[in-house]
């Protein structure tokens, strides 16, 4: 919801708040990889039960992930590989964070919470996969080509609003870490991921039927 509502509206505020990022002409892909490294440090903290330190690292890594696209657009360095790298490393971070939480709670003997983390991870993988796969199938020529392309374009123009995107998922986990409510946060992420996956599967059914 955050991404679909604000889109690129955050570009200008980020440029005002962090002007040095644009004066230094940083490589956007380097920012993406830096965000991954910092977020993995946060995952390591989560696995040790150091939730507040983990939240700080994940927030800093998320900031890198947020500004890399802004820097790329500002410098005119947007590439398809950059978009691929960003999306791929997002999946790595999601898996690392939720796996770390599953490991921590399993080690604490809290099997139910560990399974919640596993369920959250399952849907964190399924939701973006369902979208990516439906996008690929909708744009692939099949029985006429042009009609498939028009359907894909129409679906893209309609936009997508789902219950919980990645940004909301990370924010919920950060809130759970800072407020010492991680089991509740994991439950929210698991349920939100399930709803979002169902929405995307339903949208794919309608989209591919066109």
Catalytic residue positions, numbered: 90
CA distance 115 to 129: 21
Do 57 and 37 meet the contact criterion of CB atoms below 8 Å apart? no
C-alpha distances (whole Å) from 127 to each of 49, 111, 141, 161, 199 are 27, 24, 24, 13, 9
180-198 per-residue burial string, b: 16 or more CB within 10 A, e: under 16: eebbebbbbbbbbbbebbb
Q: What is the dihedral of CA 160, 161, 164, 165, to 10 degrees?
A: 40
């Amino acid at each position: 919801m955050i991404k679909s509502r604000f889109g690129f509206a955050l570009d200008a505020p980020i440029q005002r708040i962090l002007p040095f990022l644009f004066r230094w002409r940083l490589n956007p892909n380097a920012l993406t990889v830096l965000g991954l490294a910092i977020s993995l440090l946060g995952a390591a903290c989560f696995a040790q039960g150091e939730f507040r330190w983990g939240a700080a690292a994940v927030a800093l890594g998320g900031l890198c992930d947020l500004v890399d696209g802004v820097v790329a657009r500002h410098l005119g360095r947007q590439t398809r590989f950059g978009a691929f790298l960003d999306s791929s490393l997002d999946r790595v971070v999601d898996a690392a964070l939720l796996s770390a939480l599953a490991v921590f709670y399993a080690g604490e003997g809290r099997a139910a919470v560990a399974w919640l983390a596993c369920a959250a991870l399952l849907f964190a993988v399924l939701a973006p996969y369902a979208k990516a796969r439906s996008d690929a199938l909708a744009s692939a020529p099949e029985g006429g080509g042009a009609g498939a392309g028009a359907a894909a374009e129409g679906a893209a123009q309609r936009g997508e609003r789902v219950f919980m995107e990645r940004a909301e998922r990370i924010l919920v986990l950060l809130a759970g870490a800072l407020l010492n409510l991680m089991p509740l946060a994991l439950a929210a992420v698991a349920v939100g991921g399930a709803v979002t996956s169902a929405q995307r599967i339903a949208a794919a059914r309608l989209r591919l039927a066109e």
